[in-house]
Amino acid sequence: MPGVLPNDRRHQLKLFANYQWKNFNFGLSWSVRSGIPLTALAAHPDYDNAGEIPTGPRGNLGRTPWTFPVDMHGDYTLKLGENKRLKFVADLFNVGNQTRLIQIDTWTQLDLATPNPDYLKPGTNLIAYPYQNPFAARLAVRFEF
């Protein structure tokens, strides 16, 4: 079958920056990724399994949108002696709360006799949340010795 494979990402750009000042550490990351190809898939005629046979060339439905989330990191280290430190950490993921669609149901049939009512809608039966993960924060305290 000609065409691109399901996880083909033509473009990926990842930028990372870090700055340390006294006991503070700041970090920033930016990941730009092109979308993955979408291919219409029909049920297999012999096994009656959904989503197995491409109905045209791979990628015939276009691609998912580009994504470009920004993540941030910050920590402060408190020295408690020669070999002991207490570190306060904050990580922020998807700071702009970008919610692009990353998975679309491309199965045209559930079986040979049943059209898929969710065809071209967000998600599939294989993924619970078809969008980018929303903004999230992680706070931590770490004792190093």
pLDDT at position 3: 82
| Position 126 pLDDT exceeds 80 | no
Between CA 26 and CA 24 the distance in angstroms is 7
The answer for residues whose C-beta is within 8 angstroms of residue 10's C-beta and 6 or more apart is 34
Query: Quick one: average pLDDT of 86-107?
Result: 96
pLDDT at position 47: 87
pLDDT at position 123: 85
Place of tokens 């949108």: 65
Least confident of 24-33, 50-59, 89-98: 50-59
Between CA 110 and CA 49 the distance in angstroms is 7
Percent helix, strand, coil in the chain, to 5, is 0, 50, 50
Strand partners, 12: 33
The 10s digit of each residue's pLDDT in 33-84 is 999 999 999 999 998 888 899 999 999 999 999 999 999 999 999 999 999 9
Query: Quick one: average pLDDT of 79-95?
Result: 97
Q: What is the mean pLDDT of the chain?
A: 93
Least confident of 1-5, 6-10, 58-62: 1-5
- Given phi > 0 = left and psi -120 to 50 = alpha, else beta, which region is 34? beta
Residue among 101, 3, 9, 11 nearest 57 (CA): 3
| Position 125 pLDDT exceeds 90 | no
Of 141 and 6, the one with more pLDDT:
141
Length of the chain in terms of residues written: 145
**What is the token pair recorded at 90?**
């904050």
Asked if 143 and 101 count as a contact pair (C-beta separation under 8 A), the reply is: no
